[in-house]
C-alpha cells in the first residue's frame, strides 16, 4: 500500500449527502478480478450519459477537476455496499483524500486499507473547503497527515482528528496482514486452543443431511 | 476486560468472547468464527494471498458460494457473460487451491450467501461472522455478531482468521406490541429506518428487542437484521431464544446431539443482562406501523402506503429541499402526490432481504387465483436452490407461474443489477430488496422497496397499493 504523508491538490466538491457506493461505482462494473482500471467507471451514473458520453456538468468532467486528488461531500459518504471497488475506483482516478462531515463505517475502513485518507470535519468546514474547491486550479488544498492539518489557499489551517493507529498505518504504508502475523500469531494460537471454543463446528463436513428449509417460530 | 458483575449487552458478550488481544490504543484483535465468501469480493483477496505465499488459515471456518453475478435463468447452460463466468471460475479455482468448502453453482444448496449460511446451519448463535458483503448483518438474527467487510479485510481474515476492530456503541431498538394484520418484518424495518435515518446507526450495533420482535420467526428476524446496514449500523442482532434454537436444530452444519444441547446452554447465556447500558435507545409502537414503501432513492425515504410524497417547500433547510427536488425528478414523482396508485413496470421478489420460503408463501397468499396486471413483468428469484425446491414441493411455483410470474434460479439477481436481470432507464419496480439507490437495479431505474406481500399486490394491481385490500382476513392474520 502506498504511504500517505502530505498531499497538495485540487479538490472536487460533490455537495450531496449519502453519496453511496453504488454511485461511486455501479455494480455492473464489479465483474472484475483485479483491483485496477476502475477509475474510468468512477461515478459512472452521473459522469456519463446512456451512450457513454461525458456529462460536461459533472464536476470530475470539468477541465479544472480532471486531476483532482481530493473529494469533498456532505454527510454519510460511502453508505451502502461493502465493495472495496469504491476506494479502488477513487484511487485509480487519482483521489487520495476524501473529506466529509461523516462516513459510513465499512467505506471508512476500506479507505485506510488502500492508502486513501478519509477526514471527518464539521459541516461548516466542509462547506468552506467546497467554496475553496470552486476556484479549481487556483485554490489547491494541502493535506498534511503528520501534522493532522489542512492548509487552505488563503493560509488558514484546519486541524483534524485521526486515530493514532490508523494514522501510523497510513504514514508508513504498512501491510496489515504481515503485521498481524508478525505480532499476534502466538495470541491467535492461544485463543484457538481455549476449551470454551470446542463447541464451534467445522464447515468441512456436514453433520447430517438437509431436512428442513424455513421455520423457527410459529408463523410458518 | 469487563468486570464480570457489570451488566452486559448481547453485543458486549459476543465481543468479549472473541477478543484475542486488546492493543494499547483500544483496538482489539477479534477472532472470526465464520467467513463466508462469494465471487465478487474475494478474487483480489485470494490473489494477494497467493502473491504472499500464504495459506487460508482456517478453511474449516470458511464457506463459499457464488451468488452476486450468477445467471438466474437456465442453469443447464454455461454462464454466457464472459466476465461473470471468469469470476465464478476464479472462485472455483480458488476454493479448490485453498481447500475451502464450496456449494457449486449447479448444486441444490447454492443460493444467496446470506440465505445459504443460516439454512445450512453454518451461521450459528454466539459466533462472529463476516463476509465481503454489507448484508452480512442478516446473520445477526441468530444472536451472532455479523458484519460486512471489504476485500482487504477478507484477505486479512483468510490469512489470520482475525480482524482489527474498534468496539462499536450499543443501540437498542425496541418494537413493542402487536403489528396489524398485513404488516410484516419488512414494514417494521422500513419504519425503523424511516425513523432513525440511514446514518442513525452509524458507529453502533443495533439490538432489536421488544415483544413484536420476539414474535417474529427467523425469516422475519433475518429481514430485520439484513437492513441494519441501511440504518448505517455496523451490525444488527436479536438475542437467541427458543425460536432460534428450533430453527438451528438439525441443520446440516449445526452441532448435533449432545453437542447441540451444550451449545444451546451457552447460547442461552448471551441475552442482554438486566440493566445493561445502551448508548442509544429507540422505541416503536408496533400497532402504529403500516405496510410501507419507499418513495425516493435512500432507504430512509419511507412512507406508509397511505402516505403522500414530500414537497421540497416543506423543508426549511435548502440542501434538504434540493435533495427532495432532485429525488422527485429522478423518481418521476410529483411533490405531494399519493404514493398509492403509482404504476409499476417490474415486480421483483427476491434478494437476501426477502427470498426465503416464508417470503414466497406470503407473496403466494396474495397471488393465489390472481393474475399479474397487463404490462407488468414479475419475477421471483428464490434465495437458494433449496428454497426453490421446497416451494415447488408446496406448489407455490404453480401459484407464481399461473399468476404470470417468472420462476427463476437462486441468486442476487435484480437486487443489484449485476447479472442480466436489470431495470432499463425509467422503469419502475416494486422490489423486496434492500436498496433504492440511484441506478441500483439498472441505470436510471426507479426502485420502490416493500415487503413480499406488497410486491405481490403491486404485481396484481399494476400500481403500488395497500396489500391489505387484497388479503382475505384469515390470510392477513398469517402474513409473515
Per-residue pLDDT tens over the stretch B32-54: 999 999 999 999 999 999 999 99
Signed CA dihedral, A209, B73, B480, B265: sign only = positive
**CA distance to partner chain B, nearest, from residue A196 (Å):** 9
Chain A nearest C-alpha distance from B308 (Å): 23
pLDDT value at residue A139: 86
Alpha-carbon distance of B451 to B440, in angstroms, equals 18
- Residues in chain B within 8 Å Cβ distance of A105: 202-203, 232, 234
Percent of chain B scoring above 70 in pLDDT? 97
pLDDT attached to residue B226: 98
- Residue A216, pLDDT score: 60
Quote the Cα angle for A112-A114-A118, to 5°.
Answer: 40
pLDDT digits (tens, 9 = 90+) for A39-73: 999 999 999 998 999 999 999 999 999 999 999 99
DSSP states of B339-395: STT-B-SEEEE-TTTS-SHHHHHHHHHHHTT--PPTT-EEEE--SBHHHHHHHHHHT
Residues of A in contact with B47 (CB under 8 A): 33-34
Report the C-alpha gap between B200 and A16 in whole angstroms.
Answer: 17
Q: Which residues in chain B are closer than 8 Å to A76, comparing Cβ atoms? A: 198-199, 202, 232
What span, in angstroms and rounded, lies between the C-alpha atoms of B159 and B153?
Answer: 10
pLDDT band at A220 (very low <50, low <70, confident <90, very high): very low
Candidate from B60, B323, B358 with C-beta closest to A214 = B358
The C-alpha cell at B321 is 429541499
Residue in B20, B136, B248 nearest the CB of A187: B20
pLDDT at residue B3 in the model: 57
Q: What's the gap in Å between the CA of A41 and the closest CA on chain B?
A: 13
Grid cell 438474527 is found at: B141
3-state secondary structure of B281: strand
User: Phi first, then psi: what are they for B468, rounded to 5°?
Assistant: -60, -30
- Interchain CB distance below 8 Å, A27 and B417: yes
> Phi/psi at A65 (nearest 5 deg)?
-115, 10
Q: Is B225 annotated as a binding residue?
A: no
pLDDT, residue A215, reads 64
Contact A220 B243 (CB under 8 A): no
What pLDDT score was predicted for residue A208?
78
| Backbone dihedral region for residue A78 (phi beyond 0: left; psi -120 to 50: alpha; all else: beta) | left
Q: Using CB atoms, which residue from B17, B132, B439 is nearest to A26?
A: B439
What's the pLDDT band for B113 if we cut at 50, 70, 90? very high
Give me the pLDDT at residue B474, please: 52
Q: What are the residues facing B308 on neighbouring strands?
A: B338
Burial class (CB in 10 A: 0-12, 13-18, 19+), A204: middle
Examine the pLDDT at B479 and tell me if it is beyond 50: no
Q: Going along A15-87, which residue ranges are E strands?
A: 70-73
- From chain B, pick out residues whose CB is under 8 angstroms from the CB of A176: 152, 156, 164
The residue-averaged pLDDT of B228-257 equals 97
Interchain contact, B203 vs A215, CB within 8 Å: no
Asked if B151 is an interface residue toward chain A (Cβ–Cβ < 8 A), one would say yes
Q: Length of chain A, please?
A: 220
Q: How far is A17 from chain B (nearest CA, A)?
A: 8
Q: Which residues pair with B447 in a beta bridge?
A: B429
- What is the pLDDT at residue B374? 98
The verdict on whether residue B415 carries a ligand-binding annotation is yes
Q: Beta strand pairing status for B280-285 and B169-176?
A: parallel
d(Cα A118, Cα A109) in Å, to the nearest integer?
A: 9
State the CB neighbour count (10 A cutoff) for residue B294: 23
Q: Where does B296-407 show beta strands of DSSP type E?
A: 302-304, 346-349, 377-380, 406-407
Distance of CA B21 to the CA centre of its chain: 31
For residue range B395-445, list pLDDT tens digits in order: 999 999 999 999 999 999 999 988 888 999 999 999 999 999 999 999 999
Considering only CB atoms, which chain B residues are within 8 Å of A206? 120, 252-253
What pLDDT digit, counting tens, does each position of B116-162 carry? 999 999 999 999 999 999 999 999 999 999 999 999 999 999 999 99
Cβ distance B44 to A35 less than 8 Å, yes or no, reads yes
Using a CB–CB cutoff of 8 Å, tell me whether B323 touches chain A: yes
Give φ, ψ of B258 to 5 degrees: -60, -40
Cell 471454543 -> residue = A197
What's the whole-model pTM score? Answer: 0.95
Distance in Å, alpha carbon of B299 to nearest chain A alpha carbon: 10
Minimum-distance CB partner of B20 among A83, A113, A188: A188
Q: Which residues contact B428 (CB under 8 A, 6 or more apart)?
A: B332, B342, B343, B344, B345, B346, B445, B446, B447, B448
Q: What is the pLDDT of residue A206?
A: 84
Tell whether the model's pLDDT for residue B309 goes beyond 70: yes
Q: What is the pLDDT of residues B351-385, one digit of tens each?
A: 999 999 999 999 999 999 999 999 999 999 999 99
A45: nearest CB among B244, B251, B439 = B439
pLDDT (tens digit, 9 = 90+) per residue, A170-210? 999 998 999 999 999 999 999 999 999 999 999 998 887 77
- CA distances (Å), origin B80, targets A172, B74, B411, B419: 44, 11, 15, 10
Report how far residue B223's alpha carbon sits from residue B241's, in angstroms, rounded to the nearest whole number: 17
**Rounded to an integer, what distance in angstroms lies between the CA atom of residue B102 and that of residue B38?**
10
> Interior CA angle at A200 toward A197 and A205, to 5°?
140
Task: Give the number of other Cβ atoms within 10 Å of residue A205's Cβ.
Answer: 10
Q: Which residues contact B84 (CB under 8 A, 6 or more apart)?
A: A31, B69, B70, B71, B418, B419
pLDDT of res. B5: 76
Task: Tell me the pLDDT tens digit for each residue of A78-98.
Answer: 999 999 999 999 999 999 999
The DSSP secondary structure of B162-213, one letter per residue, reads: EEEEPPPEEEEEEEES-PPTT--HHHHHHHHHHHH-TTTTBTEEEEEESHHH
CA atoms within 13 A on the CB side of B47: 15
Instruction: Extract the C-alpha cell encoding B324.
Output: 427532495
Chain A partners within 8 Å of B198 (Cβ): 18, 76, 79
* Interface contact flag, A180 B162, Cβ < 8 Å: yes
Among candidates B156, B232, B390 on the partner chain, residue whose Cβ is nearest the Cβ of A104 = B232
Instruction: Say if residue B412 carries a ligand binding annotation.
Output: yes
How many other CB atoms are there within 10 angstroms of residue A178's CB atom? 12
Q: For residue A27, which residues of chain B lie inside 8 Å, CB to CB?
A: 68, 416-418, 440
- Minimal C-alpha gap between A20 and chain B (Å): 8
pLDDT for residue B478 is more than 80: no
Mean residue pLDDT across chain B:
95
Asked if B418 lies within 8 A of A206 by C-beta distance, the reply is no
Residue among B248, B266, B358 minimizing CB distance to A220: B358
For A125-170, what is each residue's pLDDT tens digit? Answer: 999 999 999 998 888 999 999 999 999 999 999 999 999 989 999 9
The single residue listed with the C-alpha cell 482500471 is A37
Does pLDDT of B338 surpass 60? Answer: yes
Nearest residue of chain B to residue A30 (CA atoms): B40
In chain B, residues 81-100 whose CB comes closer than 8 Å to chain A: 81, 83-84, 86-87, 90
Pick from B43, B88, B134, B240 the residue to mutate for testing the A interface (most A CBs within 10 Å): B134
Amino acid at each position: 500500500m502506498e504511504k500517505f504523508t502530505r498531499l497538495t491538490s485540487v479538490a472536487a466538491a460533490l455537495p450531496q449527502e449519502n453519496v453511496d457506493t453504488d454511485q461511486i461505482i455501479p455494480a455492473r462494473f464489479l465483474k472484475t478480478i483485479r483491483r485496477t482500471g476502475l477509475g474510468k467507471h468512477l461515478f459512472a451514473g452521473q459522469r456519463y450519459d446512456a451512450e457513454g458520453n461525458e456529462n460536461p456538468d459533472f464536476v470530475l468532467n470539468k477541465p479544472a477537476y480532471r486531476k483532482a486528488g481530493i473529494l469533498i461531500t456532505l454527510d454519510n459518504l460511502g453508505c451502502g455496499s461493502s465493495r472495496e471497488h469504491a476506494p479502488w475506483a477513487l484511487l485509480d482516478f487519482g483521489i487520495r483524500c476524501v473529506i466529509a462531515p461523516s462516513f459510513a463505517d465499512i467505506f471508512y475502513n476500506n479507505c485506510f486499507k488502500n492508502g486513501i485518507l478519509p477526514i471527518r470535519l464539521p459541516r461548516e468546514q466542509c462547506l468552506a473547503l467546497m467554496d475553496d474547491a470552486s476556484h479549481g486550479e487556483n485554490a489547491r488544498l494541502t493535506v498534511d497527515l503528520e501534522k493532522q492539518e489542512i492548509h487552505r489557499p488563503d493560509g488558514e489551517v484546519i486541524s483534524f482528528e485521526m486515530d493514532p493507529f490508523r494514522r501510523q498505518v497510513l504514514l508508513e504504508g504498512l501491510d496489515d496482514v504481515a503485521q498481524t502475523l508478525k505480532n499476534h500469531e502466538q495470541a491467535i494460537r492461544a485463543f484457538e486452543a481455549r476449551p470454551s471454543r470446542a463447541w464451534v463446528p467445522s464447515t468441512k463436513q456436514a453433520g447430517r443431511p438437509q431436512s428442513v428449509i424455513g421455520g423457527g417460530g410459529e408463523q410458518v | 476486560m469487563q468486570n464480570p458483575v457489570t451488566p452486559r449487552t448481547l453485543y458486549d458478550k459476543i465481543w468479549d468472547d472473541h477478543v484475542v488481544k486488546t492493543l494499547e490504543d483500544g483496538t482489539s484483535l477479534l477472532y472470526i468464527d465464520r467467513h463466508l465468501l462469494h465471487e465478487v469480493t474475494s478474487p483480489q483477496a485470494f490473489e494477494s494471498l497467493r502473491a504472499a505465499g500464504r495459506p487460508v488459515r482456517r478453511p474449516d471456518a470458511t464457506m463459499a458460494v457464488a451468488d452476486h453475478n450468477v445467471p438466474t435463468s437456465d442453469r443447464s447452460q454455461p454462464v454466457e457473460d464472459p466476465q461473470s463466468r471468469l469470476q465464478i471460475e476464479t472462485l472455483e479455482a480458488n476454493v479448490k487451491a485453498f481447500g475451502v468448502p464450496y456449494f457449486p453453482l449447479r448444486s441444490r444448496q447454492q443460493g444467496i450467501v446470506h440465505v445459504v449460511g443460516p439454512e445450512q446451519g453454518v451461521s450459528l448463535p454466539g459466533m462472529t461472522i463476516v463476509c465481503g458483503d454489507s448484508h452480512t448483518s442478516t446473520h445477526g438474527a441468530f444472536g451472532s455478531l455479523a458484519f460486512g467487510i471489504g476485500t482487504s479485510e477478507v484477505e486479512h481474515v483468510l490469512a489470520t482468521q482475525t480482524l482489527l476492530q474498534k468496539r462499536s456503541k450499543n443501540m437498542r431498538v425496541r418494537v413493542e406490541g402487536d403489528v396489524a394484520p398485513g404488516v410484516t418484518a419488512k414494514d417494521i424495518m422500513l419504519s425503523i429506518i424511516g425513523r432513525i435515518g440511514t446514518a442513525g446507526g452509524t458507529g453502533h450495533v443495533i439490538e432489536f428487542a421488544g415483544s413484536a420482535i420476539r414474535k417474529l420467526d427467523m425469516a422475519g428476524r433475518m429481514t430485520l437484521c439484513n437492513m441494519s446496514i441501511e440504518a448505517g449500523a455496523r451490525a444488527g442482532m436479536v438475542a437467541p431464544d427458543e425460536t432460534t434454537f428450533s430453527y438451528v436444530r438439525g441443520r446440516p452444519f449445526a452441532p448435533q446431539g449432545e453437542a447441540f444441547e451444550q451449545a444451546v446452554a451457552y447460547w442461552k447465556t448471551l441475552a442482554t443482562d438486566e440493566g445493561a447500558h445502551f448508548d442509544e435507545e429507540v422505541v416503536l409502537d408496533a400497532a402504529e406501523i403500516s405496510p410501507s414503501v419507499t418513495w425516493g432513492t435512500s432507504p430512509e425515504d419511507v412512507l406508509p402506503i397511505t402516505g403522500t410524497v414530500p414537497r421540497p417547500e416543506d423543508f426549511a433547510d435548502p440542501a434538504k429541499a434540493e435533495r427532495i427536488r432532485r429525488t422527485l425528478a429522478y423518481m418521476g414523482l410529483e411533490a405531494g402526490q399519493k404514493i398509492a396508485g403509482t404504476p409499476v413496470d417490474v415486480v421483483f421478489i427476491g434478494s437476501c432481504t426477502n427470498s426465503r420460503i416464508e417470503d414466497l408463501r406470503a407473496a403466494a397468499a396474495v397471488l393465489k387465483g390472481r393474475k399479474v396486471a397487463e404490462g407488468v413483468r414479475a419475477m421471483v428469484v428464490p434465495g437458494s436452490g433449496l428454497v426453490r425446491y421446497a416451494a415447488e414441493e408446496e406448489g407455490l411455483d404453480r401459484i407464481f407461474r399461473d399468476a404470470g410470474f417468472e420462476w427463476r434460479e437462486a441468486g442476487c439477481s435484480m437486487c443489484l443489477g449485476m447479472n442480466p436481470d436489470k431495470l432499463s432507464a425509467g422503469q419502475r419496480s416494486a422490489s423486496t430488496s434492500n436498496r433504492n439507490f440511484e441506478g441500483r437495479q439498472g441505470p436510471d431505474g426507479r426502485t420502490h422497496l416493500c415487503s413480499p406481500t406488497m410486491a405481490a399486490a403491486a404485481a396484481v394491481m399494476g400500481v403500488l397499493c395497500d396489500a391489505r385490500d387484497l388479503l382475505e382476513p384469515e390470510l392477513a392474520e398469517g402474513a409473515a
